[in-house]
Amino acid sequence: DKDKGGVSISFYEPGMEEAAKRRAMIESELRSALIDERVEPYFQPIIDLETGEVIGFEALARCRASDGSLLMPDEFIPIAEQSGLISRLFLQVLKKGCLVLRHKPPHMTMAINLSSLQLSDDWLAEQILAILTETGVAPGRLEVEITETALVANFEAAHAMVTKLKRQGIRISLDDFGTGYSSLRHLSELPFDKLKIDKSFVARLGNDEASDTIVRTVTTLAHNLGLKVTAEGIEDDAHVSFLQGIGCEYGQGFLYGRPAEASRRRVTEDAANED
């Protein structure tokens, strides 16, 4: 069962008690993984849709459980948030991500996901900068992703955080766009660099007139606000042609590559060289 990835308990029934047990198990796995540095980024390429070149990566958290199985973020991120571990998790993913990014060509960027709970973390900007300095990564190569839902739920905190990070030269993307209910005011008052169209709309391109219209309209709106657009969840060539046709700049999805472990060699060498 180890190899199935994502599920480390084989026999559990979806009862309340079982769910509570699994939750407790994940929390304890997460705590020990943070101590042993078994929380790590998987990297998914982001492509320039015009040239087909890789312009960077999104770092997506994975947690290696003590039995070797891989826990997935849809399950452990909410638990990390509820148990006060989200900030440590973020910093561990950021640090490991930067150790990989610094060996990539300097034009490449790394995107990383921020939890809504981190928007009011007064230390976050300093902690990010310390890691960038320590790993030698220029702030302009880091892109912090904030979901539309988090933005709407905490507009004032998001405003303050985005302003602070932008002042340091870090880029900001508005993630999962189309799933929240942001207004033009939300969009125009914050200095975002990019807008990421949620994969649920991209998945329906071509079979659903409404999705085509939404994706086209959102792209135009973003361009009018001076933002670049990334479409996530690109799975086939038809998606690509449609997105190229409407001038969407960047794309990400299984068509180009699934999130994958960075090759461990460079990182391990670094760790050895640093001591």
Stretch that binds ligand C2E, among 98-106, 183-191, 214-222, 249-257 (CB under 6 A): 249-257
Q: Which of 29, 40, 148, 176 binds Ca ion (CB under 5 A)?
A: 176
Is residue 259 at the binding interface for ligand C2E, with CB under 6 A as the rule?
A: yes
How far is it, in rounded angstroms, from Cα 38 to Cα 54?
27
Partner from ligand C2E, Ca ion, none binding residue 230, C-beta < 5-8 Å depending on class: none
Is residue 233 at the binding interface for ligand C2E, with CB under 6 A as the rule?
A: yes
Is residue 175 at the binding interface for Ca ion, with CB under 5 A as the rule?
A: yes
**By C-beta, is 72 or 160 nearer to ligand C2E?**
72
Stretch that binds ligand C2E, among 30-38, 69-77, 155-163, 215-223 (CB under 6 A): 69-77
**By C-beta, is 188 or 258 nearer to ligand C2E?**
258
Is residue 148 at the binding interface for Ca ion, with CB under 5 A as the rule?
A: no
Is residue 113 at the binding interface for Ca ion, with CB under 5 A as the rule?
A: yes
**By C-beta, is 61 or 128 nearer to ligand C2E?**
61
How far is it, in rounded angstroms, from Cα 80 to Cα 26?
9
Is residue 61 at the binding interface for ligand C2E, with CB under 6 A as the rule?
A: yes
> Bridge partners of 147?
175
How far is it, in rounded angstroms, from Cα 268 to Cα 145?
27
**Within 175-194, which residues bind ligand C2E (CB under 6 A)?**
175-176
Partner from Ca ion, ligand C2E, none binding residue 29, C-beta < 5-8 Å depending on class: none
Q: Which residues contact 116 (CB under 8 A, 6 or more apart)?
A: 146, 147, 149, 150, 153, 154
Identify the helix (H) or strand (E) that includes residue 59.
strand 54-64
> Bridge partners of 64?
70
The residue number with the shortest CB distance to ligand C2E is 253
How far is it, in rounded angstroms, from Cα 27 to Cα 25?
5
> Bridge partners of 155?
none
Vertex 62 angle, CA 60 and 64, to 5°: 165
Place of tokens 């910093």: 91
| Per-position DSSP letters for 40-57, written without gaps between them | EEEEEEEEETTT--EEEE
Q: How many residues bind ligand C2E (CB under 6 A)?
A: 22
How far is it, in rounded angstroms, from Cα 133 to Cα 128?
9
**By C-beta, is 188 or 244 nearer to ligand C2E?**
244
Q: Which residues bind ligand C2E (CB under 6 A)?
A: 44, 60-61, 72-74, 77, 90, 93, 113, 115, 175-176, 199, 232-235, 252-254, 259
